[in-house]
């Protein structure tokens, strides 16, 4: 991997933005969800850039790829939880689409990075 710092990775930057936005939207959730869906959403969102950063610090591209896979799994978990939150009426009108679009963009970026790592191995 040519990038020296995980902070230079656009996918990390975008996932940090998404995590901050999740904290903003969940602030309006019912208080009874603080240990439920609010907590789950925030943990999943934080897990995405955290796994990217942790994987970047690993000694090989192969181990980095494992952490990118975990980040992608957390991203899919986040999408599922967002859809649940919307169906429960916790998200304001029109709020889910921009968040899901960000998720899709980050998914494409993770997939592209994984593809690059696999090509570098061979």
What is the span of the domain harbouring residue 66? Answer: 6-121
Tell me the pTM: 0.94
In the chain, how many domains are there?
Answer: 1
CA distance 78 to 3: 27
27, part of any domain: yes
Tokens of 2: 């040519």
| CATH number, domain containing residue 99 | 1.20.1440.60
Low-confidence ranges of the chain (pLDDT < 50): none
Residue range 66-100, pLDDT digits in tens: 999 999 999 999 999 999 999 999 998 899 999 99
1, part of any domain: no
Confidence at residue 122, expressed as pLDDT on a 0 to 100 scale: 58
CA-based end-to-end distance of the chain: 14
HEC profile of 16-32: HHHHHHHHHHHCCCCHH
């Amino acid at each position: 991997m040519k990038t020296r710092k995980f902070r230079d990775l656009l996918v990390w930057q975008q996932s940090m933005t998404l995590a901050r936005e999740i904290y903003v939207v969940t602030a309006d959730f019912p208080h009874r969800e603080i240990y439920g869906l609010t907590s789950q959403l925030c943990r999943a969102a934080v897990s995405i850039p955290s796994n990217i950063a942790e994987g970047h610090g690993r000694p090989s591209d192969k181990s980095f790829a494992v952490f990118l896979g975990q980040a992608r799994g957390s991203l899919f978990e986040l999408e599922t939880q967002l859809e649940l939150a919307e169906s429960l009426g916790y998200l304001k009108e029109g709020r889910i689409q921009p968040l899901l679009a960000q998720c899709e963009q980050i998914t494409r970026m993770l997939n592209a990075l994984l593809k690059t790592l696999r090509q570098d191995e061979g």
